[in-house]
Amino acid sequence: MAKTEDLRPFGNPGSDDFRVEAYPFYLINRLANRYNAAIEPELRAIGIDIPTWRVLMILGEHEPVAIGQIAKSAVINLSTMMRIVERMADAGHVTTMPSAQDGRVTEVGLTDQGRATLTHARRVTAPLYDRIIKGFSARDFARTLELLNRLHDNLD
């Protein structure tokens, strides 16, 4: 088996040998920005934006969810998330209610309209997802998810 070159030193911003193409966070940010630029027109065409789509996707897995947890999952600060949820409630996508366990916590759930919008958003974004993962084997894909989660967990 051929030995793989150790590129980790080239990704260290403190190294004199630093190369941006070996810096994983540059690559992750570049990927996220390109993905958002590609998906935004698809979402706009159905009347939603990326933050709304993130919230719909989170609630589509489990609801109700506390606003703070949605903010954490969506990687959006709490005050911004509160404005997003308020806008979504005004648009008829979500409802808010005090938590049964802690009245100080606001939980968010999908309305029927929100579920319909989520279904539509999933349908229009699926072709882009299929295009992006084309050529990835099941093993490649699972390994990619594992490595991204490991980078995330190492930040704790």
pLDDT score, position 2: 67
On the question of pLDDT at 1 being above 90, the answer is no
CA angle, residues 51, 53, 58, in degrees to nearest 5 = 100
Integer Cα distance of 115 and 103 in angstroms: 25
Say which CATH topology domain 49-153 has. Arc Repressor Mutant, subunit A (1.10.10)
* Per-residue pLDDT reduced to its tens digit, 40-65: 999 999 999 999 999 999 999 999 99
Domain boundary assignment for the chain: 49-153
The share of the chain scoring above pLDDT 90, in percent, equals 92
**Rounded mean pLDDT of 136-144?**
97
Number of H helices, E strands in the chain: 6, 3
